[in-house]
């Protein structure tokens, strides 16, 4: 990946885990202000709310936690304890400043997670499972660290849900590993968003581990 200004288009252009590390190392310092606030990004709030309203409980693992926006939203809804995992140590450092996580765990999801089996009653992820970031095959890596009956809330950009293989993967998992799959639609951005992505939609995959 060549050096690019950290922004949404650069994020959609990611191809490898090393690309992700490089981009988010340079974006971590002002991600919340230059992107989340400036673009009225709301997906983290809507993912956290969907998890809480579906009865989600802790302990929760926030996957691809970034600067901790989703964890902070979930903590504000009274759900915890929370752990964060992300491929970028710089983003995790910013997440730690929000003081809502008990652990910050650097990990590459495409290589599996280092936590003990069946550690979590909930798995949360906002903005990570999409084109250029983490594909549908990585959903398998989340299952071992979840307890039986654990609730998942995984946001997936609606434009990529079928094209990138998420639909097929979740349908396959529904036959052997997960149950009660629901796919509510939410807007990724708020009313103040500008640009070509301002009306983008996400599906929040809500399901339980068998």
Task: State residue 16's pLDDT score.
Answer: 52
Chain centroid to CA 21: 16
Residue 148: its H or E element: strand 146-157
Task: State residue 7's pLDDT score.
Answer: 44
Q: What is the pLDDT of residues 161-190, one digit of tens each?
A: 999 999 999 999 999 999 999 999 999 999
Please report which residue ranges of the chain form alpha helices under DSSP H: 8-12, 17-27, 31, 43-53, 69-76, 89-96, 139-142, 166-174
Specify the fold of 8-209.
Rossmann fold (3.40.50)
* Residues sharing a CB contact under 8 Å with residue 5, sequence separation 6 or more, in sequence order: none
Task: State residue 9's pLDDT score.
Answer: 46
Q: Which residues of the chain have pLDDT under 70?
A: 1-34, 131-133
Per domain, the residue ranges of the chain are: 8-209
DSSP state of 189: B
CA atoms 109, 92, 12, 51: torsion sign? positive
């Amino acid at each position: 990946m060549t050096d690019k200004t950290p922004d949404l288009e650069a994020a959609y252009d990611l191809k490898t885990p090393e690309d992700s590390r490089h981009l988010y190392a340079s974006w971590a310092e002002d991600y919340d202000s230059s992107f989340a606030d400036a673009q009225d990004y709301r997906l983290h709030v809507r993912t956290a709310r969907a998890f809480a309203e579906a009865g989600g409980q802790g302990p929760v693992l926030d996957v691809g936690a970034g600067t901790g926006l989703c964890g902070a939203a979930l903590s504000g809804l009274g759900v915890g304890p929370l752990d964060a995992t992300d491929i970028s140590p710089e983003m995790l450092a910013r997440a730690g400043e929000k003081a809502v996580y008990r652990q910050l765990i650097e990990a590459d999801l495409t290589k599996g997670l280092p936590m003990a089996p069946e550690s979590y009653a909930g798995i949360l992820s906002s903005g990570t499972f999409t084109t250029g970031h983490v594909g549908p095959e990585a959903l398998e890596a989340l299952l071992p660290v979840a307890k039986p009956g654990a609730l998942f809330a995984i946001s997936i950009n609606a434009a990529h849900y079928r094209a990138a293989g998420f639909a097929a993967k979740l349908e396959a998992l529904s036959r052997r590993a997960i149950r009660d799959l629901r796919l509510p639609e939410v807007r990724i951005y708020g009313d103040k968003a500008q640009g070509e992505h301002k009306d983008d939609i996400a599906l929040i995959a809500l399901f339980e581990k068998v």
